[in-house]
Amino acid sequence: MTYLDLSQYRMITDVKNKDNTLILEINKIYEVEVEIPYEEVEIDGSILLINAHPKRAENIKVGILNLISYSIANNLKSKITKRRVIYINEPIPLIGHTAFGLIERGRNIIQVRGHCGCNLNCIFCSVDEGEFSKTRKNDYYVDLDYLIENYKKIVDFKGNKFIEAHLDGQGEPSLYYPLVDLVQELAEINKKGKGIVSMQTNGTVLDYKLIDELEEAGLHRINLSINALDEKMAKMLSGRKDYKIEKILDIAEYIKNSKIHLLIAPLLLPNINDEEFKRVIDYAIDLDLKVKQNIINPLTGKRDPILGCQLCRVYQLGRRPKKMKIWDFNKFYDLLRRYEFEYKKKGIDVKLITSPKDFGTHKRKRLPYPFKVGEITKVKVVLDGRVKGEVLGVGRDRVIQIINCNNEQNLMGKVVKVRILRNKDNIIVGELI
Ligand code: SF4
């Protein structure tokens, strides 16, 4: 008897079956169903027993693996967002889109976006993420080895000195699997040039074990979003009844006692969470006084700030809470200055207005811009887009978001004429002509 053990494949993280249909969990948060059309196959957990002549059994094995590859390429679904997931690997470039891959903006930071999709549904989400998104139709996942290979190329281009890999994106970065391996590989590359790895998170996926592993992997900083301490307000802002602020505060304290620098990032939604925003600032300052972390950022030679206060802005395809007032940055900074002054009067020196310099961010060599705005070019359509009316094309080692399309499915595989509308930071947007 021949057998095929599916647990030997890193991406297959769980196996179930319903009669002759395999239900494969892929990288923890995705799922795909694969019908096994061979009568000779018996499914026993992750082991497939093949009762056939050895030569036929080998052919069946290859057939099953091909079926699994095909299903992952075409029918992968997110268990979190319930959307289709497109698995990104060679030869799709990783520069050009904001939903996946790598972004560099002429600085020493490289944004690493291994996937998109979020477990929360924040009422203010700038990228309309979560299960109830009205605009997103597909999610993307980037193969770990491919992501690292491309990351290395950008680091080599920029020069491996004081580079920061920042895990962020259209979704919750900590849902990426295998996250610890990703952080470890990035940290190993960056530490050769005294660089760091940092990550944004809503904190919901983190637990003590994962924080321990991330610490071990070399994560330098976690930027943790906390927008309210009040339970009701926190649930309302996150768009989820099961959001537990006590759990996030517990996680904050655990990080604060680790070798990962904790930065708390509250977001002000004027006229909605004004009081709670201030309470989060007070909480962070209090925690910082109680637990002094002494983690030095090699990019600055100093400790990172404890707070990264942010103002909620409105984006074209984002969500905007009805009651929210729109503030400009002057008004926001005036408020933060007032809070800084109030703290100073109490003898506490706190910096609420931070600048890129506080994190060691500085200008560095930019990747070349292969497209000019206004240019008309031919592009091959290779993938469905992130939002309705969008497909993705490939050209000159970039992904191009082609917007305002009708009949997206009819465009797949075709070469189309596109006018480039945007090339800033190598995020390329074009429209069909
Ligand atoms: S956690 Fe971030 S990505 Fe997720 S819904 Fe909230 S704002 Fe959007």
Q: What is the mean pLDDT of residues 297-307?
A: 97
Measured in Å, residue 205 CA sits from the centre of ligand 1 at 13
- Residue 317, pLDDT score: 85
Flag whether pLDDT at 1 surpasses 90: no
Distance CA 191, CA 220 (A): 11
- Residue 426, pLDDT score: 98
Strand 84-88, strand 138-142: pairing: parallel
Strand 101-104, strand 109-113: pairing: antiparallel
Percentage of the chain with pLDDT > 90? Answer: 98
Architecture of the domain delimited by 376-432: Beta Barrel (2.40)
Confidence of residue 54 (pLDDT cuts 50, 70, 90): very high
Nearest residue (by CA) to ligand 1, atom 6, is 122
Name the token pair of 9: 């494949």
Q: What is the topology classification, in CATH, of domain 2-75?
A: Outer Surface Protein A; domain 3 (3.90.930)
Residue bearing tokens 């390429």: 73
Q: What is the mean pLDDT of residues 177-197?
A: 98
Q: What is the mean pLDDT of residues 88-113?
A: 98
Atom of ligand 1 nearest to the CA of 225: 1
| Torsional class of 98: left (φ above 0), alpha (ψ -120 to 50), beta (otherwise) | alpha
Name the token pair of 282: 């007070």
Nearest residue (by CA) to ligand 1, atom 8, is 125
Shared fold status for 2-75 and 86-359: no
Question: Ligand 1 pocket: which of 83, 118, 227 to mutate (most atoms <8 Å of CB)?
Answer: 118
In tens, the pLDDT along 329-369 reads: 999 999 999 999 999 999 999 999 999 999 999 999 999 99
Three-state helix/strand/coil letters over the chain = CEEEEHHHCCCEEEEEEECCEEEEEECCCEEEEEECCCCCEEEECCEEEECCCHHHHHHHHHHHHHHHHHHHHHHCEECCCCCEEEEECCCCCCCCCCCCEEEECCECEEEEECECECCCCCCCCCCCCCCCCCCECEEEEECHHHHHHHHHHHHHHHCCCCCEEEECCCECHHHCCCHHHHHHHHHHHHHCCCCEEEEEECCCCCCHHHHHHHHHHCCCEEEEECCCCCHHHHHHHHCCCCCCHHHHHHHHHHHHCCCCEEEEECEECCCCCHHHHHHHHHHHHHHHHHCCCCCEECCCCEECCCECCEECCCCCCCCCCCCCCCCCHHHHHHHHHHHHHHHHHCCCCCCCCCCHHHHCCCECCCCCCCCCCCCEEEEEEEEECCECCCEEEEECCEEEEEECCCCHHHHCCCEEEEEEEECHHHCCEEEEC
102 lines ligand 1 (CB under 6 A): no
Number of other CB atoms surrounding residue 314 within 10 Å: 12
**Residue 50 · residue 4 · CB < 8 Å:** yes
- Residue 92, pLDDT score: 98
Measured in Å, residue 169 CA sits from the centre of ligand 1 at 9
Q: What is the mean pLDDT of residues 61-75?
A: 96
Confidence of residue 292 (pLDDT cuts 50, 70, 90): confident
- Residue 233, pLDDT score: 98
- Residue 247, pLDDT score: 98
Flag whether pLDDT at 311 surpasses 90: yes
Q: What is the mean pLDDT of residues 92-107?
A: 98
Name the token pair of 365: 């060599």
305 lines ligand 1 (CB under 6 A): no
Percentage of the chain with pLDDT > 70? Answer: 100
**Residue 269 · residue 312 · CB < 8 Å:** yes
Q: What is the mean pLDDT of residues 370-398?
A: 97
120 lines ligand 1 (CB under 6 A): yes
Q: What is the mean pLDDT of residues 69-94?
A: 97
204 lines ligand 1 (CB under 6 A): no
CATH, range 86-359: 3.20.20.70
Confidence of residue 103 (pLDDT cuts 50, 70, 90): very high
Flag whether pLDDT at 316 surpasses 90: no
Confidence of residue 392 (pLDDT cuts 50, 70, 90): very high
Distance CA 155, CA 133 (A): 34
Per-domain residue ranges for the chain? 2-75, 86-359, 376-432
In tens, the pLDDT along 399-426 reads: 999 999 988 989 999 999 999 999 999 9
**What's the chain's length in residues?**
433
Residue bearing tokens 């390329």: 428
Distance CA 316, CA 126 (A): 8
199 lines ligand 1 (CB under 6 A): no
In tens, the pLDDT along 219-276 reads: 999 999 999 999 999 999 999 999 999 999 999 999 999 999 999 999 999 999 999 9
**Average model confidence (pLDDT) for the chain?**
97
Of 299, 282, 402, give the one whose Cα is nearest residue 342.
282
pTM of the model: 0.96
Measured in Å, residue 211 CA sits from the centre of ligand 1 at 20
- Residue 303, pLDDT score: 96
Of 228, 164, 226, 174, give the one whose Cα is nearest residue 197.
164
Q: What is the mean pLDDT of residues 308-331?
A: 94
